[in-house]
Amino acid sequence: MPKEIILPIIAADFESGTIESWSKKEGDAVAKGEVLLSVETDKAIIEIEAEHSGVLGKIMVAAGTEDVLVNAVIGLLLQEGESASDLDGLPNSVETQAGSTASELSPVLKEPQSISSQVAVSAGQNGAASGRIFASPLARRIAADLGVDLNGLTGRGPRGRILKADVELADSNGLVAVGDKSIFAASTVEPESGRTYSAIPHSNMRKTIARRLTESKRDVPHFYLSTDFQLDALLAVRRDFNARSPEGEEAYKLSVNDFIVKACAVAMRDVPEVNSSWTEEAIHQHHNVDISVAVATEGGLITPIVQDADSKGLVAISSQIKDLAARAREGKLKPAEFQGGGFTISNLGMYGTSNFSAIINPPQSCILAVGAGEQRAVVKDGELIIGTVMTCTLSSDHRSVNGDVAARFMQALKRYIEDPFYMVARQLL
Q: What is the DSSP string of 355-391?
A: ---PPP-TTBSEEEEEEEEEEEEEEETTEEEEEEEEE
Q: Are strands 73-78 and 54-59 parallel, antiparallel or unpaired?
A: antiparallel
Please give the full DSSP string across 139-195, using - where no structure is assigned.
Answer: HHHHHHHHT---TTPPP-SGGG-B-HHHHHHHHHSSEEEETTEEEE-SPEEPTTT--
pLDDT at 267 (0 to 100): 97
The answer to whether 286 is a known catalytic residue is no
Q: How confident is the model at residue 93 (pLDDT cuts 50, 70, 90)?
A: low
CA distances from 352 to 196, 210, 257, 389 (A): 31, 25, 14, 13
pLDDT at 132 (0 to 100): 63
Q: CB of 396 within 8 A of CB of 366? A: yes
pLDDT one-digit tens code per residue, 194-223: 788 877 777 777 888 888 899 999 999 999
pLDDT one-digit tens code per residue, 53-90: 999 988 999 888 877 888 889 999 988 888 777 777 66
Q: How confident is the model at residue 426 (pLDDT cuts 50, 70, 90)?
A: low
User: What CA–CA distance (Å, rounded) separates 325 from 298?
Assistant: 12
pLDDT one-digit tens code per residue, 219-267: 999 999 999 999 999 999 999 999 999 988 889 999 999 999 999 999 9
Out of 52, 222, 287, 398, the active site residue is: 398
